[in-house]
Amino acid sequence: MNKRATLRLIVILTMSSLILVNVSSTLAQSVPEFTLKLEAHPYDVPTTYGIDPYTGENVAIQEGYHVENKSVVFTIKNQPATYLFYNVRYKGHFGDSWTEVFSYYLYNPVSGDSSPGNLVPQSSSFGYTTITIPAAFPYGEIDFQVQALEWHYIQVFIHDHPMAPPPLNEIGHYEQRFTLDKTSAWSNTQTLTFPAIPPNVTLLLPQEGKFNTSDVPLDFAVDQPVSQITYSLDGQENVTVTGNTTLTGLANGNHNVTVYATDEAGNTGASETLFFSVEVPEPFPFVPVATAVTAVAVTGAGLLFYLKKRKR
């Protein structure tokens, strides 16, 4: 068999192997079996203290707050595969539109590889694989499904001179490519119910105490995205703000303020009601210059008249 015939045979065998790979990729990996649960690992962030640069006192710079830290945990039964990855998707229980949590690429034009992207690889240490995602879902019922995707390496024949005339265009070499082989159907649907959790609002400023200014900063922190923020000063009607602000023109005396935050689902959370007082010192009496000069002149004239009279 001459060299040219040998090269043609190699090409035919390579194409045959690629065709077999394409056929095998239509075979579905087993539908994954999994359990689902909602876990909470709450923790508290302590208050941060520091030295006031103006008074030298140890004051609270940022008030402590509570974090729910909830997660959705998938426990998936492992399957007999070397390069197996998992994807997760979710939707509202009464909706039809699914959202996939992870992504992958079927072809990379630079390397020529497929890529599992950020899919979760099957664990090789246990008989199961655990996937944990943040429970950043609106309250209500949420459906979840899992999918298995299997990758493997294939030999691909690369032409060294594809544009050259025969027999140069039949000369090449083999390279390994990581490619998607089998994809399972999506699993059965499991549903979790997320309770309504109103936003947690923490007042940072003002601190309880006395202020010698009529303009007092109002700083606060909210632990989740919200659609509206308002505050009530001294029990009056709520005022809408977009963020931290300043309470201006406060009269001397006692005051109190409460901040409210409402999420997109309509749940409203309130901060504690903070009490403080304002005592702006009375201004030093101001005497106009002209008046002062007149007073001095009159006093001087009177004193001069008195002295003249005594001399006589």
Question: Using one digit for the tens of pLDDT, what is the confidence trace for 81-96?
Answer: 889 999 999 999 999 9
pLDDT for the residue 63: 67
Within 8 A by CB and 6+ apart from 270, the residues are 201, 258, 259, 260, 261
Residue 6 binned pLDDT confidence (cut-offs 50, 70, 90): very low
* 202 lies in the same domain as 189: no
Average confidence (pLDDT) over 189-195? 92
- Per-residue pLDDT of 260-302, as tens digits, reads 999 877 889 999 999 999 999 887 666 565 555 555 454 555 5
Domain count, the chain: 2
pLDDT of residue 291: 55
Q: What domain range includes position 15?
A: 3-194
When pLDDT is averaged across residues 255-264 and rounded to a whole number, the result is 92
User: What confidence tens digit (pLDDT) does each residue in 120-146 have?
Assistant: 999 988 899 999 999 988 778 999 999
pLDDT in tens, 26-61: 334 689 999 999 998 888 888 788 888 877 888 777
Per-residue burial over 13-42, b if 16 or more Cβ lie within 10 Å, else e, is ebeeebeebeeeeeeebebbebebeeeeee
User: Is there a single domain that holds both residue 183 and residue 288?
Assistant: no
Helices (H), the chain: 3-24, 289-311
d(CA 259, CA 63): 15
| Residues 9, 82 within the same domain | yes
CATH number at residue 100: 2.60.40.10
Same domain, 65 and 32: yes
Same domain, yes or no, for 86 and 187? yes
Question: Do 22 and 141 fall into the same domain?
Answer: yes
- The answer, as to whether pTM is greater than 0.85, is no
Contact between residue 81 and residue 93 where contact means Cβ atoms under 8 Å apart: no
CA dist 32 and 75 (Å) reads 10
Share of the chain above pLDDT 90, in %: 43
Same domain, 138 and 209: no
Contact (CB, 8 A) for 179 and 107: no
